[in-house]
């Protein structure tokens, strides 16, 4: 009986030690990474970009450094929206496209492709619109996780979009569900 009891304590000790080690391997916050714990994601922006929170419905927005003569600062923002009912990616895409149609430049058709966001299936939408007097080209990456829709939007003027496209892609690639 004593041997069984001692074997049980050894087993309990091993389980506790394994649990402690697993806890030690938990990811630590990375310097320079933006964490939105309440919204369940993190993302990394270039260190020289200005970052703001809670601007016009976004969780976070980052803007490129100001350049002389800029009429529009290239930016990336993340919006997290609660979904009223369970929704798959295709339904969320359809809803997003329906909402976008009133904002799109006349005659501009959005280009939709499969993508990935935070290691989850996503949709990528390339579009053009006018904000005030400024033409804007944008890239939206959207995904659904649980009862939330996640939208990463990258915006620039049509003239600077392709210059910033690699940066936009790099930023979107750093998105993680936490």
Mean pLDDT, consecutive 10-residue stretches, the chain (178 aa), reads 41 35 53 94 96 95 88 95 94 93 76 96 94 91 97 96 97 97
- Cβ-based neighbours of 88, under 8 Å, separated by 6 or more: 144
Question: Can you tell me which residue has the tokens 């970009």?
Answer: 49
Residue 16 lies in a domain: no
Q: What is the pLDDT of residue 29?
A: 80
- DSSP state for residue 132 in the 8-state scheme: T
At 33, which CATH number? 3.40.1000.10
Q: Which of 101, 171, 126, 117 is CA-nearest to residue 149?
A: 117
Residue with the two structure tokens 């041997």:
3
Q: What pLDDT was estimated at residue 8?
A: 35
Within a domain: residue 22?
no
How many domains does the chain contain in total? 1
Please indicate, yes or no, if residue 140 is contained in any of the structural domains.
yes
97 occurs within a structural domain: yes
Q: Does residue 132 sit within a domain? A: yes
Asked, for residue 2, whether it belongs to a domain, the answer is no
Domain that holds residue 127: 28-177
- 77 is a domain residue: yes
How confident is the model at residue 28, as a pLDDT? 63
């Amino acid at each position: 009986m004593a041997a069984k009891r001692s074997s049980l304590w050894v087993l309990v000790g091993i389980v506790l030690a394994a649990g402690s080690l697993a806890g030690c391997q938990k990811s630590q916050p990375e310097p320079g990474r933006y964490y939105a714990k309440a919204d369940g994601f993190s993302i990394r922006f270039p260190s020289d970009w200005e970052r703001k929170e809670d601007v016009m419905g976004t969780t976070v927005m980052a803007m490129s450094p100001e350049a002389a003569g800029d009429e529009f600062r290239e930016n990336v923002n993340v919006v997290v929206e609660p979904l009223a009912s369970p929704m798959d990616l295709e339904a969320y895409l359809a809803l997003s496209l329906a909402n976008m149609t009133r904002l799109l430049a006349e005659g501009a058709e959005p280009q939709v492709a499969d993508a990935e966001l935070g290691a989850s299936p996503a949709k990528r939408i390339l579009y053009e619109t006018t904000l005030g007097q400024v033409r804007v080209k944008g890239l939206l990456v959207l995904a659904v996780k649980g009862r939330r829709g996640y939208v990463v939007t990258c915006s620039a003027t049509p003239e600077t979009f392709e210059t910033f496209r690699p940066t936009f892609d790099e930023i979107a690639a750093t998105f993680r569900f936490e």
